[in-house]
Amino acid sequence: MDYTARYGLEFNPFLKNSKEVLVESQEYKEVLFRLNYLLTTKGFGLLTGSAGRGKTTAIRNWSAGLNPSLYKVVCSSLSTLTVNDFYRNLASELGAQPAFRKTDNFKLIQNEINRLVLEKRQTPVIIIDEANYIGNAVLNDLKMLFNFEMDSRDRAIVLLAGLPVCHS
């Protein structure tokens, strides 16, 4: 059955990678308000919601509207990696050549963030989708990784998005 012809649709909204349908509900506007607040305050943000609620669509729409001369947006949904693989991926996404050792990648990431902020005047926006799958080892390292000047400065924005974690 051809739904598009029958219902007069321009595209099939049920296909993956189809055009995104953005419904600007009050909930969506609240998400944008909070994401924009995160832009001004920097640091860590968390966006959770059940499957299919539009988290990724909202984040994609919001980040696409950021001025690329002011913000360096890095998106990743590779959340089941080891700490070093996570570091290697992040270093690469930030534009650095990843190293072999975790400590070298740690320094590379911090140096690249400092370079972006201090030389290029760009704020890194690190978006980790499907963050509910991140292991404790990566979560434990995130705070240290984004600790600058003895924790007196937030140089980047880190947004973790994913499903709420249920404890039984």
Question: What CATH number does residue 138 fall under?
Answer: 3.40.50.300
- Tell whether 15 is covered by a domain: no
- Tell whether 85 is covered by a domain: yes
Please name which of 147, 157, 128, 168 lies closest in space to residue 34, comparing C-alpha atoms.
157
Q: Which domain holds residue 99?
A: 47-162
Average pLDDT, the chain: 84
- Tell whether 99 is covered by a domain: yes
What confidence tier does 149 reach under pLDDT thresholds 50, 70, 90? Answer: low
- Tell whether 14 is covered by a domain: no
Higher pLDDT, 52 or 72: 72
- Tell whether 32 is covered by a domain: no
Query: Could you tell me if 67 and 61 are in contact, meaning their C-beta atoms sit under 8 angstroms apart?
Result: no
Q: In the numeric block, which tokens belong to residue 118?
A: 């201090």
How far is residue 129's CA from residue 80's CA, in Å, rounded to a whole number?
11
How far is residue 80's CA from residue 135's CA, in Å, rounded to a whole number?
7
Please tell me the total count of domains within the chain.
1
- Tell whether 52 is covered by a domain: yes
Neighbours of 44 (CB within 10 A): 16
- Where are the extended beta strands (E) located within 27-70? 43-48
pLDDT at 107 > cutoff 90: yes
